[in-house]
């Protein structure tokens, strides 16, 4: 019966320290290799539980990291474990996954920093449990400045690659447009001043002048 609900059992504040002995802090810094954009550094400290005792630490760390990533949407991420003690526990692996939006990138802008109290154990988790090749762990650093430089370099590389892909797509589209315009059939001449070429089908301009009028750029074809 509703009127028999007992009056004890009030809401109380949730204290994360009751659920995990790992603390999570956040810092942001500008990307020095770009005009704009920011880096997110997630700093973990405290003691990660041993083995499965660390499962809820991992869950808490992962949730806090993803929340910051979604809110700030940084161009690069550094997970800093240098002040965290970790011996073993494979759930930590889920914290090490790059944000989903970078899954397709061969070189995601992501690095981790290890410290004296987690060093061998982090590498062992990656190599022994998560099947990383020990020689491919070039994204682990002992120094946050080195991690930052590494992430910034990758941001620049990825931006350049993206620009190259855009350029290639634009070139392909231009060529397709050029082919679609077809031959200059005339018999009238192009109406552009001093042009002696014949007009293409459905236009008063030659192929080159029609291309330039529509694309607003010099025609690379002839």
Q: Which is nearer to Zn ion, 56 or 197 (CB)?
A: 197
| 123 is a site residue for Zn ion (CB under 5 A) | no
| 85 is a site residue for Zn ion (CB under 5 A) | no
| 61 is a site residue for Zn ion (CB under 5 A) | no
* Nearest distance, CB of residue 181 and Zn ion, angstroms: 12
- Cα separation, 42 vs 45, in Å, equals 10
Residue indicated by tokens 């041993």: 50
**Interface residues for Zn ion in 171-210 (CB under 5 A)?**
190, 192, 195, 197, 206, 209
- Cα separation, 61 vs 44, in Å, equals 8
* Nearest distance, CB of residue 155 and Zn ion, angstroms: 44
Per-residue DSSP letter, 102: G
* Nearest distance, CB of residue 205 and Zn ion, angstroms: 5
* Nearest distance, CB of residue 171 and Zn ion, angstroms: 22
* Nearest distance, CB of residue 198 and Zn ion, angstroms: 9
Q: Which is nearer to Zn ion, 85 or 206 (CB)?
A: 206
Q: 187: cis peptide before it, omega within 30°?
A: yes
Strand partners for 28: 40
Residue indicated by tokens 């931006």: 159
Helix (H) or strand (E) holding 151: helix 144-181
Q: Which is nearer to Zn ion, 96 or 206 (CB)?
A: 206
Number of residues that bind Zn ion (CB under 5 A): 6
- Cα separation, 147 vs 113, in Å, equals 7
Q: What is the CA radius of gyration of the chain?
A: 29
Q: Which residues bind Zn ion (CB under 5 A)?
A: 190, 192, 195, 197, 206, 209
């Amino acid at each position: 019966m509703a009127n028999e609900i007992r009056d004890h059992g009030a809401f109380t504040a949730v204290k994360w320290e009751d659920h995990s002995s790992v603390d999570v802090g956040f810092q942001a810094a500008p990307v020095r290799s770009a005009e704009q954009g920011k880096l997110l550094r997630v700093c973990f400290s405290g003691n990660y539980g041993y083995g499965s005792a660390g499962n809820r630490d991992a869950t808490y760390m992962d949730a806090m990291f993803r929340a910051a990533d979604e809110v700030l949407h940084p161009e690069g991420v550094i997970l800093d474990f240098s002040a965290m003690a970790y011996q073993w526990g494979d759930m930590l692996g889920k914290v090490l996954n790059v944000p989903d939006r970078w899954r397709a990138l061969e070189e995601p802008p992501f690095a981790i920093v290890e410290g004296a109290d987690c060093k061998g154990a982090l590498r062992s988790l990656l190599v022994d449990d998560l099947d990383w090749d020990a020689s491919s762990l070039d994204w682990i650093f002992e120094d946050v400045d080195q991690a930052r430089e590494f992430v910034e370099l990758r941001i620049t590389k990825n931006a350049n690659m993206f620009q190259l892909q855009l350029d290639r797509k634009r070139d392909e589209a231009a060529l397709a447009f050029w082919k679609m315009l077809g031959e200059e059939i005339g018999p009238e001449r192009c109406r552009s001043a001093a042009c002696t070429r014949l007009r293409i089908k459905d236009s008063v301009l030659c192929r080159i002048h029609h291309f330039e009028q529509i694309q607003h750029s010099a025609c690379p074809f002839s």
